[in-house]
Amino acid sequence: MNRVEQAILQMKRYLIKEFCFSYTPVQNEIVISIELGRETKIIEEDGKKNCLLELTLTAFGRADETDYLTIKASMEGVFECQETLEEKALEKMVAESGTSILLPVLRAAILSFTGQAGLTPPIVIPLMNPRFSSEAEKQ
C-alpha cells in the first residue's frame, strides 16, 4: 500500500480581491480570449517566510470586432513551504504549483457568477496549463 505524505507546499488562505463583469447581449457567437497573469512576493508571517501569489484573469468576449463580454478577476493566495528553500526557489514553486491551486478556484467563481447572472450557458474558463514562459513572466 502506498504511503500518503503531506504536501511540501500548502495554501494558508486565499481571497478574491477583484471581480468585474460586463455583458451586452448579442445574437452572434462570442469568441472568448483569455489573458492570465501572476506575481509572487515573499512575505513574513509568524516568523516564517511565506509566498504571496496574485493571479489575474481577464476574459474578453468579441463578436463583429466589438467587446460584448469582459471579466476581470484577481485573487491572491498565501502559501507556506514545509521545507526551507531559497527565496527564488520558493517563488518559482509557488508560481507554478500555486497557480495550479488557485486557478480552479477562480474558474469556479466565474462559472458560478455568470450562471447566477443569467448567462445561458454560463462562462466556463477552459482548463489551462499554468506554466508561463520566462519571457512572459518578465512582462
pLDDT of res. 50 = 92
What is the rounded radius of gyration, in angstroms, for the C-alpha atoms of the chain? 18
DSSP H/E element including 129: none
pLDDT of res. 81 = 87
* DSSP strands (E only) in the chain: 9-23, 31-45, 48-63, 66-81
- Domains within the chain, CATH numbers bracketed: 12-126 (3.10.420.10)
pLDDT of res. 14 = 98
Which cell goes with 70?
469582459
**pTM, 2 dp:** 0.83
Nearest to 43 by CA among 87, 103, 92, 97: 87
Nearest to 119 by CA among 69, 73, 64, 58: 69
pLDDT of res. 113 = 97
Which parts of the chain have pLDDT scores under 70?
A: 130-139
Nearest to 127 by CA among 98, 106, 97: 106
